[in-house]
A = this chain, B = another copy of it.
């Protein structure tokens, strides 16, 4: 959402001034002339940040609140979960036994990435801000270790956790953490660039990764991803994710705030890090 506010060429046109802010949401149909979507259906789509949305139904689909709570459809069973799933498995080419590092690991995407990697028998270390989040990663989500970027010496911890180097680094944050991880890559490592939350509000240039020549030394690759490219396989992935959730192998965590008037303050939590899991804003009573 932050990227959509920059006036720059991207994978989707920027949101214009005075337009409704673009957002993916879940809602209930209260009136319909559509033959497929009926009153009282629950739907998922690009609702925007608003209490009522009108749609022709394109790129909307129905969701079932009996299978999972509605907020889960905005997180692990929505784009967030799909990003994690295809990012670690397809772009990251995860293999059993890989040593995996995830940044933004207590966030919506990162927490799912790490759990999927654990399901696939990887050794998973997460980077997050603060002791509480780190404890959450290891004690609740089952990560093998956690690095607190606010208090730990990141380079020292990476050396300790990755004596043989990092096979897959899934990066949500960029900046100094990306550089630290690059300096610790294993041969043929894969770096997945999913985001760069540390850089989005820069008033100067983005900090490029000074250690990018580690890609050369280690014959490694750094790849960008945009989840929309995997649309044809969303359903298969969502079924797999749902199954893992039912088996208790995959936990979905939403941090829910209320009131459309609180959008701005809630949005800023993405950058302060003052949230756990997927940040969701509830704009209407059910």
| Partner-B contacts on A (CB < 8 A) | 9-11, 174, 179, 193-196, 199, 205-226, 229
> What B residues does A194 contact at CB under 8 A?
216
Q: List 30 A-B contacts (CB under 8 A).
A: A9-B217, A10-B217, A174-B213, A193-B212, A193-B213, A193-B215, A193-B216, A195-B216, A199-B213, A207-B210, A208-B208, A208-B209, A208-B210, A208-B211, A209-B212, A212-B212, A212-B222, A214-B224, A215-B223, A215-B224, A216-B225, A217-B224, A218-B224, A219-B223, A219-B225, A219-B226, A219-B229, A220-B224, A221-B222, A221-B223
A94 to chain B, nearest CB (A): 16
* CB pair B210 A205 closer than 8 Å: yes
A80 to chain B, nearest CB (A): 16
- The A contact surface, by secondary structure, is loop
> What B residues does A174 contact at CB under 8 A?
213
Smallest Cβ-Cβ distance to A223: which chain B residue: B221
Copies in the assembly, this chain: 2
Smallest Cβ-Cβ distance to A11: which chain B residue: B217
CA A63 – CA B29 in complex, angstroms? 77
> What B residues does A199 contact at CB under 8 A?
213
CA A212 – CA B195 in complex, angstroms? 11
* CB pair B219 A196 closer than 8 Å: no
A255 to chain B, nearest CB (A): 24
A107 to chain B, nearest CB (A): 16
CA A206 – CA B218 in complex, angstroms? 17
CA A215 – CA B223 in complex, angstroms? 6
A225 to chain B, nearest CB (A): 6
* CB pair A221 B218 closer than 8 Å: no
Smallest Cβ-Cβ distance to A209: which chain B residue: B208
CA A174 – CA B214 in complex, angstroms? 13
Smallest Cβ-Cβ distance to A214: which chain B residue: B224
* CB pair A213 B222 closer than 8 Å: no
Q: With A211-B206, A212-B209 known to touch, is A220 a contact of B223 (CB < 8 Å)?
A: yes
